[in-house]
Structure 1
C-alpha cells in the first residue's frame, strides 16, 4: 500500500507536471522532515501495540503534525547551519504536502501555513555589462579558417566543432535568456531558423516561444552544419539534441556550467558568472533598452510579474536617467 508521501510525489509528477528534478527535491526535503519527526518521536501514531511501538521506523500520524513540530524542524535545520534559502525551500515543500493532504480530506488544516518563512536577504542578480558580454562571447571565437571551410562545404575537426558548439551555447543563452536546464533539453526541431524562434519547455513542463537573435541564429546554423556527417544514421534530425557532448550524447546542466566557467576565465572577467547570470544579463539589457516588463516576463517564463520586477533594482541607474530626462521637475 502506497504511503501518503508516495501518492503526493505521484501527484506532483502526474497532475502538476513538475520536472523529475523538482520531484526529487521535494522527496528529499520531505523524507528529511519525516526522519526528523521519527527521530524526535514527534507525531507518532497513538495507541500503538507493543509490536508497532518497537517497529523501525515507527509509524507517523501526519494529522498530529502541528505548527510546533514544523517550527522544531526549522530550528533543527538552523542548528545545523543551513542557509535560510534551503530552509525556505524545505518549508515550501512541507506546505505543499499538507495542502495536498488537506485537499484529500486527510487533514483539516495546513500547520505549515501557520509558520512564517525565514526572511531572505534581497540579492541583486549578477549580470554583465554589454562590453563584458561581448568579451565573453568573443572568448569563444572560432578560428577564421572555419568560415571559409563552411562556405566550401568542408566539415571541421572534432576539436574545432567543440569551439563552435561552445560559442553557440553562449550566444543562445544570451539571446534567449533561457535557463540552463531548458537549454540542455532542447532538440534540433525546437529551433525555427526561418522565424528565428525557439520552442522551450520550462518549469512545470510548460512550453513557451523565445526569440533568437540574428547573430545567435547564424552561429547555431554553422555549428549544426559542421556537426552533421554523411555517415550519420537516418534518424530524423529534429529529434536529436541541439547541443551534444564529445561522444554525441546530450549535454548535462553540469557540462554547460563547466563550459561557461571555462570562457569566463579565458575572458578574464573577475566575476562569478554562471549560466543564470546570462539570463539576468539578457533581462537587464532588455529593460535598459526600454523593453516592457511584461514582455520580459513572458520571454523568461515567469509566472508572476513580481519575480521579473527584481530586474528593476538592477536597472535603477537607467530608470533614474529616464526619469531625469522625462520629468519636468526632475
Structure 2
C-alpha cells in the first residue's frame, strides 16, 4: 500500500553549523531526486531487507482484522514502524538519535530533521521523498501534539504513550532496536539493526564519491581516528573497505 502526502520539493536550505558541507553534491542521494546508486557490496543486503520490512508494514495496512479496534491498532503500529525504518535507512541515524527526535525537529517544507547527536551536537539531515511520505502518513494518525516524533505505545491498548501533562513520550534506543527486530522476524528476513542502515548509508555516499568531510557531517562522525573505543567504528570500517583512508 503506497502512502501519500509527499511534501513538495524545496530549494536548498542554508547550511547550519555541523551540517553537510557540499549540499549540491549529495542532494540527489539524500532527497530522492534520483535513484540511489548500484547496490553496494558493503551493505550486507540491507536495501533488500529494508524493502521486505516496509512490505511487511504495508501488508498490515491491508490485512483483515477481527474487529475495527484491532485494525486501528495494526494500522497505527504499521505506519509508525514504516516511518522509523525508512528514516533510519535514508539518513543513517543512530537508533538513539532517532529516539530523541521530537515533532519540532521535523521540517516538512525542507524535508529535513534536526538531529542531536553525541555531546548534544546538532546537525541537519535530509530525508528522501519516500521517507517523508511515510512520516507524513504516520503524523496524520499521531497528530501534531508536542513530544516524540515516533512515539511508543502503551502495552495493552496500543495507544500513543504520553507523559504526565499530555506530552507524547519518546522511544529509547533499545525500543527502536526492538521494533526493527520484531519487523525482521515478521518479514522472515535476516535480522537488521540501525547499525546496518547506518553502514549502508555511509557506504553508498562513499561509493558515489562524496568527499569524506561531507559524509562525516551527514553521519555525525567526529573524526577518522581508529580504536576499539572509538564511536566512529562504522565510518572507519566502511571507509577502510573502500580504501579512502590513507594507510
Q: Which category of TM-score, normalised to the shorter sequence, fits these structures?
A: 0.5 to 0.7
Aligned 1:103-114 pairs, distance under 5 A: none
Match of 2:239 among 312, 315, 329: 312
- CA shift, 1:295, in A, is 1.3
Aligned residues: 175
- CA shift, 1:142, in A, is 4.8
Cα distance change on mapping 1:282 and 1:291 into 2, 3 Å: same
Q: Deviations over 1:162-198 (max 9, x none)?
A: 1110011101111111111111111001011111110
Work out whether 1:241 is the aligned partner of 2:148: yes
- CA shift, 1:254, in A, is 1.6
Normalized against structure 1, the TM-score is what?
0.48
Contact 1:127 1:278 in 2 (8 A): no
Counterpart residue number, 1:210:
125
Counterpart residue number, 2:18:
none
Q: Provide the rounded CA distance (Å) in 2 between the counterparts of 1:314 and 1:255.
A: 31
Normalized against structure 2, the TM-score is what?
0.63
- CA shift, 1:251, in A, is 1.6
Counterpart residue number, 2:20:
none
Higher-Rg member (1/2): 1
Gaps of 5+ in 1: 1-124, 147-155, 229-235, 320-330
Match of 1:131 among 11, 36, 48: 48
Cα distance change on mapping 1:136 and 1:281 into 2, 3 Å: farther
Cα distance change on mapping 1:188 and 1:160 into 2, 3 Å: same
Work out whether 1:189 is the aligned partner of 2:189: no
Cα distance change on mapping 1:223 and 1:281 into 2, 3 Å: same
Q: Deviations over 1:214-259 (max 9, x none)?
A: 100000000010122xxxxxxx73x311011223232222211111
Q: Secondary structure at the match of 1:304?
A: coil
Match of 1:170 among 85, 100, 105: 85
**Which one has the bigger helix percentage?**
1
Work out whether 1:297 is the aligned partner of 2:216: yes
Cα distance change on mapping 1:265 and 1:288 into 2, 3 Å: farther
Q: Provide the rounded CA distance (Å) in 2 between the counterparts of 1:267 and 1:305.
A: 36
Contact 2:86 2:131 in 1 (8 A): yes
Contact 1:190 1:200 in 2 (8 A): yes
- CA shift, 1:143, in A, is 4.6
Q: Provide the rounded CA distance (Å) in 2 between the counterparts of 1:130 and 1:256.
A: 19
Larger RCO of the pair (alpha carbons < 8 Å, separation 6+):
2
Q: Secondary structure at the match of 2:152?
A: coil
Counterpart residue number, 2:177:
257
CA RMSD of aligned residues (A): 2.5
